C-alpha cells in the first residue's frame, strides 16, 4: 500500500498550500481500494525559507503529497530532503476523485515516475514491472 497525503482543511478537498497547511489526511492506496489511514496535525511553518518545509517531515512515510500550491524551490526541497513527491492540484479538487484515479493508475500500468516512487517507498510491495529497455546489455566480446 502506498501512503498519499492531502493538504486539506475539511477532509473532503485539497484546499491548502504545502507550507501553510496544518492538517493533512493520509490515505493508504492500492490497486484495488483506498482507506483513510489517519489525519495529521502538523506544527506551523517558520518564516525562514529553510524552515517552511520542516513540518512536512511529519509526512515522511507518504510517497505523494497533494497540495493546491507549491513553489519550485519548495518542491525540490520536499523531493530531495523528505523524499515525498508533491503534486499540485487545483484548489477544491475532491480527495475521493483523486483517490479513485490513483487506484485506477495503480491497477493498470503506472507511469515510470510512479513506479520509481513505489519502489522507493515500499520496495517489498512495489510491482515488478520491467520495461523492455531495462534488459541487461550484451557482454562485450574480444
pLDDT tens string 4-62: 999 999 999 999 887 778 899 999 999 999 999 999 998 766 665 556 777 788 899 99
Q: What is the DSSP string of 35-96?
A: EEEEEEE-PPPPSSTGGGSGGGGGGTT-SEEEESB--HHHHHHIIIII--EEEE--TTEEHH
Rg (the chain; Cα; Å)? 17
Q: What pTM does this model have?
A: 0.80
pLDDT tens string 33-47: 999 999 999 876 666
Question: Measured between alpha carbons, how far apart are the two ends of the chain, in Å?
Answer: 47
All structural domains of the chain = 2-128 (3.30.420.130)
Amino acid at each position: 500500500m502506498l501512503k498519499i497525503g492531502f493538504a486539506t482543511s475539511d477532509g473532503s478537498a485539497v484546499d491548502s498550500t504545502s507550507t501553510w497547511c496544518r492538517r493533512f489526511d493520509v490515505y493508504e492506496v492500492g490497486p484495488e481500494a483506498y482507506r483513510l489511514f489517519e489525519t495529521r496535525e502538523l506544527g506551523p511553518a517558520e518564516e525562514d525559507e529553510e524552515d517552511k518545509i520542516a513540518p512536512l517531515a511529519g509526512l515522511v512515510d507518504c510517497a505523494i503529497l497533494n497540495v493546491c500550491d507549491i513553489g519550485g524551490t519548495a518542491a525540490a526541497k520536499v523531493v530531495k530532503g523528505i523524499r515525498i513527491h508533491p503534486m499540485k492540484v487545483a484548489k477544491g479538487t475532491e480527495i475521493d476523485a483523486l483517490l479513485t484515479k490513483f487506484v485506477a493508475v495503480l491497477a493498470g500500468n503506472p507511469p515510470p515516475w510512479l513506479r520509481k516512487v513505489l519502489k522507493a517507498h515500499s520496495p517489498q510491495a512495489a510491482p515488478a514491472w520491467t520495461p523492455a529497455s531495462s534488459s541487461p546489455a550484451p557482454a562485450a566480446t574480444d
